[in-house]
Amino acid sequence: MIRNETEYGEAVSRLRDEQARLAEQKAKLVEMGLSSEEVERALDPFRSFHLQLREEVDYYERLRRGEVAAVQNLHGLGQMLIGLRIARGLTQRELAERVGVHESQVSRDERNEYHGLTVERGSRILDALRVRLDCRIEEPVLPEESTRDGVRAK
């Protein structure tokens, strides 16, 4: 996941480089006399990396436009917090100042996607980002016969 403008710039540059490398590799394979099917098969790993990088760049660009995805049952909460910071146009340093922690703490938290985040700290981060998190319970959550962690749902 791209977390800041520096990483974004590097990713965009890598994307351009990969595009050029892909074209060069295709030309070499064609020059070697491979069939179009063989060329496509040989280029698949390059394309896979290129597509993954393109998706990360696109995701970061959506975040910068303020398009932050919803989370369900708190899965993805860490990515959402990172996305909110990016959407708000804040650096890790600026968020750290607002929360009252060192920049390295925010960097570490984001690198770990806020794994183990406490409710209190999460609330401070949301306040610092000036956003409100609304929660609601929708029923039925699980079918009557389902179990979770060995506990039967009722």
pLDDT in single tens digits along all 154 residues of the chain: 999 999 999 999 999 999 999 999 999 999 999 999 999 999 998 899 889 999 999 999 999 999 998 888 888 999 999 999 999 999 999 999 999 999 999 999 999 999 999 999 999 999 999 999 888 777 776 666 655 555 555 5
pLDDT at residue number 144: 65
Structure tokens at 117: 């985040």
Contacts of 85 (CB under 8 A, 6+ apart): 92, 95, 110, 129
Q: Is 75 helix (H, G, I), strand (E, B) or coil?
A: strand
pTM of the model: 0.75
Structure tokens at 59: 């995701």
Architecture of the domain delimited by 77-128: Orthogonal Bundle (1.10)
Tell me how far apart the alpha carbons of residues 122 and 79 are, in angstroms, rounded to a whole number.
Answer: 13
Amino acid at 101: V
pLDDT at residue number 70: 86
- The angle subtended at Cα 91 by Cα 121 and Cα 68, nearest 5°, is 70
Domain range summary for the chain, segments of one domain joined by + = 5-64, 77-128
pLDDT at residue number 118: 93
Question: 151 - beta bridge partners?
Answer: 148
